[in-house]
Structure formats: structure tokens, C-alpha cells
Amino acid sequence: LVIGIVCGVVFGAAFLATLALYLVQRKKLKKQHKAVPTVEMR
């Protein structure tokens, strides 16, 4: 049970982090249309 809880927390945190980064990327792309996504990902 403990392992399942830990995995769930880690997965949830990773999902939230990815979602947050995605939203930030969208905001940057909206502000700068000339910016290239591939360069920002690196």
C-alpha cells in the first residue's frame, strides 16, 4: 500500500509540474509568436 501511495504522489506531482510547464510555454508562445518551441524546450 505504501508503494502505491508513493507512486501516486510522484505521478501526481509530475503531472502537475508538466501541466504548469505547458501553461508557461503557452503564455510565452502567445507573447512571442516568433519564438521557436524547439529552442525553448532545450
Mean pLDDT confidence for 4-33: 88
Distances, alpha carbon 14 to alpha carbons 6, 22, 32, in Å: 12, 12, 27
Q: What is the pLDDT of residue 36?
A: 57
Q: For the chain, give every domain's residue range.
A: 2-41
Q: How confident is the model at residue 26 (pLDDT cuts 50, 70, 90)?
A: confident
What's this model's pTM, rounded to 2 decimal places? 0.51
pLDDT at 15: 95
